[in-house]
Amino acid sequence: MNILILKTASKQDDKKSLNDSVIYELDGNNNIVAVNQLWQSFALENNAPELSHDSVIGKPLLQYISGNITKRFWETFLEKVRLSNAVIHLNYRCDAPDLRRFMQIKAYRDACDGLHFESTLLRTEPRSSSIYFKRSQQRSADTKVRCSFCNHILYKNHWVEAESLVEGKHSVTLEVIYGICPNCQGSLDAL
């Protein structure tokens, strides 16, 4: 889910209750029709006014998801939620430079063909290095593929934690493009 609001780093997250959820709702055309106060607070804390309540209401959710592979993942997820008569849960990561955040998204269809989403923080783990990610405009030999859902990095045909690539460094920026790893794709396919 490379939903940008959920991928933005925040130092405030480790102070929030584990029960707090970012909530948003979509209409039948996947336009954002409602967000809760935590969405608004998160956008403002992270200097992302383009993601504030007034900026996103009425806009298509997919407008805030970048990368063709990630967009296809979300299109499939939205379709599966819309076709399901059950609440769907999917785990993902929403890391900050100094913190691994383990999250879960809960999604279900409402009576009017709209969709309801709640993203909840399950736990956090500190990182030994500060890791920043810069979206690469063009793939090069140094560009890494980062999974939009679990945040693992593709390295020598294996999906690994970013920390394993930067051992011994205090702070580092990795150039990445976004994709979906086989495990996350498998989780979606199994829904």
Question: Which amino acid is it at 170?
Answer: H
CA distance to 87, 92, 117, 157, per residue, from 16 (Å): 25, 18, 19, 36
The pTM is what?
0.84
How far apart, in Å, are the Cα atoms of 165 and each of 95, 143, 171?
Answer: 16, 12, 12
Which tokens is 48 given? Answer: 């992302």
Task: Give the separation between CA 47 and CA 67, rounded to whole angstroms.
Answer: 22
Q: Mean pLDDT over residues 143-150, rounded? A: 96
50-78: pLDDT as tens digits: 999 999 999 999 999 988 999 999 999 99
Q: Are 176 and 136 a contacting pair, CB within 8 Å? A: yes
The pLDDT, as a whole number, for residue 17 is 47
DSSP string, 108-134: EE-TTS-EEEEEEEEEEEE-SSEEEEE
In 3D, which of 56, 5, 62, 66 has the Cα closest to residue 34? 56
**Span 157-169, pLDDT tens digits:** 999 999 999 888 8
**Cα 115 to Cα 145: distance, rounded to the nearest angstrom:** 30
pLDDT on residue 175: 95
Helix 182-189, helix 68-83: angle, nearest 10: 20
Domain boundaries, the chain: 4-189
State the DSSP H helix or E strand holding residue 100, giving kind and residue range, or none if neither.
strand 99-109
What is the reported pLDDT for 10? 38
The Cα 42–Cα 40 span in angstroms is: 5
CATH topology of domain 4-189: Beta-Lactamase (3.30.450)
**pLDDT attached to residue 162:** 95
What pLDDT score does 19 carry? 57
Least confident of 11-15, 53-57, 117-121: 11-15
Length in residues, the chain? 191
- The mean pLDDT value of the chain amounts to 88
Instruction: Tell me what the mean pLDDT of segment 107-134 comes to.
Output: 95
pLDDT at 3 over 60: no
